[in-house]
Amino acid sequence: MRALYAQSGGVTSVINASAYGVIDEARKNGLEIWVGINGVTGILKERFLDATELDIEFLKHTPAGAFGSCRKKMKNEADIQKLFDIFQKYNIRYFFYNGGNDSMDTAWRVQVEAQKRGYELKVVGVPKTIDNDLPHTDHCPGYGSAAKYIAIAMMEAALDLRSMWVDSTQVFVMEIMGRHAGWLAAAAGLGWLNGIGADIILLPEKPFDKDEFIAAVDRVVTKKGYCTIAVAEGLKYPDGFFVSDMGYTDSFGNRQLGGVGFTIAGMIRSELGLKIHVAIPDYLQRSGRHIASATDVEEAEMCGRMAVRYALEDNYGVMVTMERVSDSPYQIRYSSVPLNLVADQTKMLPKDYFDGYEITEKFIRYALPLIQGEPYPPYRNGLPDYRMFDIG
């Protein structure tokens, strides 16, 4: 029997640590482990890599998807039939799918189809998303490192702004990923623990009121001369429409968003006449392995290992989850949840984690353990020594 692992959706700085966990645990348990190149898209093209004897040590400190990712939903009957023809052809009996909301939907569909067809297949989802919006788990691998990156980036940008505002830029805007939930944007406020962070945080969970927002910016600038703003890409008006809807959808059916930072900067410039700089970290925030969280790396690897253990224990059709036992000392336990309870579901930032345009003490207690530790990658020539497989 053969096991298959694949990566799906937007990548993170620690998704390869989960890959390491799956592959190493599978090998320790005597499984022949293959990897699908570019998720189900590559599997349908029979693009595989035999990882049974592969050198995988570097995966623990390399960001992004070492085996390629994809954004494909398995809704087409022809694709589903082809997928199971391929599974049968190569005797695939375990399938570990590493992804977020939409990827868990794919994993669930594959498990249901296997049961319908009477095909022996154990599917386990390995969680991953910087958005931290998968339900039934305390947090997701990828979030802690991205949150750490955003917090540090905002601190450093705020110090720059503080240096220059007297006769230059007075407002800095950072546009942060987060389509429906504001978990990552909220992290821009964590720097206040060390004295400097985002003055205003705009979240999808708080409907955007232009007049209220402009008044808030004016108050901050009047008080100290400058203002730092973090805005989630999924910021919405009270009627539910995205402030930055680009007018089309991706292959998962999600509305494509972009430019919300420039949109609100234009509002500030028009209403207050201030000079503004806008930054969009984009891919940088999700693949910034040089300043990752040690907690995140360790948990990402363990989620991969637990996926294999659950499958071998006949606990399948599930996603690996983490349950928080305590904040201080920080402690979690691993568990699982049926895939159908996760598929296409979104966990929003709780209302008691933010107050107006600021984060609360409760969010800080939640997020702080997730950004601890600096597991720096090895360096060569003064740069991170990242390695990748040749996957074409």
Any idea what DSSP says for residue 390?
-
CB 24 within 8 A of CB 58: no
Q: Known binder of ligand: residue 280?
A: no
Q: Is 130 annotated as a binding residue?
A: yes
Query: What pLDDT score was predicted for residue 258?
Result: 66
Q: What is the mean pLDDT of residues 165-184?
A: 94
Query: If you average pLDDT over residues 376-380, what whole number do you get?
Result: 96
Task: Give the per-residue pLDDT at 249.
Answer: 56
Do residues 5 and 98 touch, judged by C-beta distance below 8 A? yes
Is 102 marked within a binding site? no
Asked if the model's pLDDT at residue 74 lies above 90, the reply is no
Same fold: 2-142+290-345+374-384 with 143-288 = yes
Phi, psi of 364 (to 5 degrees): -60, -45
- Residue 79, number of CB atoms within 10 A of its CB: 15
pLDDT for residue 133 is more than 90? yes
Q: In the chain, where are the structural domains located?
A: 2-142+290-345+374-384, 143-288
Question: Nearest to residue 374, comparing CAs of 148, 153, 195?
Answer: 148
Active site residues: 131
Mean pLDDT of 301-326: 98
372 among the known binding-site residues?
Answer: no
Residue 246 has pLDDT above 90, yes or no: no
How far apart are the C-alpha atoms of 60 and 365, rounded to whole Å? 27
Name the band, by pLDDT with cuts 50, 70 and 90, for residue 343: confident
Q: Is domain 143-288 in CATH 3.40.50.460, yes or no?
A: yes
Residue 127: the pLDDT is 97
Q: What percent of the chain has pLDDT over 90?
A: 88
Q: How confident is the model at residue 30 (pLDDT cuts 50, 70, 90)?
A: very high
CA-wise closest residue to 132 among 374, 371, 315 = 371
Confidence tier at 73 by pLDDT (50, 70, 90): confident
Q: Is 31 annotated as a binding residue?
A: no
How far is it, in rounded angstroms, from Cα 5 to Cα 308? 10
Confidence of residue 345 (pLDDT cuts 50, 70, 90): confident
Neighbours of 348 (CB within 10 A): 15
177 is in an annotated binding site: yes
Binned at pLDDT 50, 70 and 90, residue 41 comes out as very high
pLDDT at 206 over 60: yes
48, 258, 366 from 245: Cα distances, Å: 37, 7, 31
- CA-nearest of 155, 193, 153, 196 to 176 is 153
Alpha helices in the chain, H assignment, sequence order = 15-28, 39-43, 77-89, 101-117, 143-164, 183-186, 210-224, 260-272, 283-287, 294-312, 361-367
Please state whether beta strands 245-249 and 255-257 pair in parallel, antiparallel, or not at all (unpaired). Answer: antiparallel
Q: Are 46 and 77 in contact (CB under 8 A)?
A: no
Residue 321, beta-bridge partner list: 335
User: For residue 19, what are its two tokens?
Assistant: 């890959």
**Residue 286 labeled ligand binder:** yes
CATH number of 2-142+290-345+374-384: 3.40.50.450
Q: Which of 228, 212, 219 is nearest to 165 (CA)?
A: 228
* Average pLDDT for the chain: 94
DSSP string, 226-276: -EEEEEETT-B-TTS-BTTEEEEE-TTSPEEE--HHHHHHHHHHHHH---E
Q: Which residues pair with 354 in a beta bridge?
A: 359
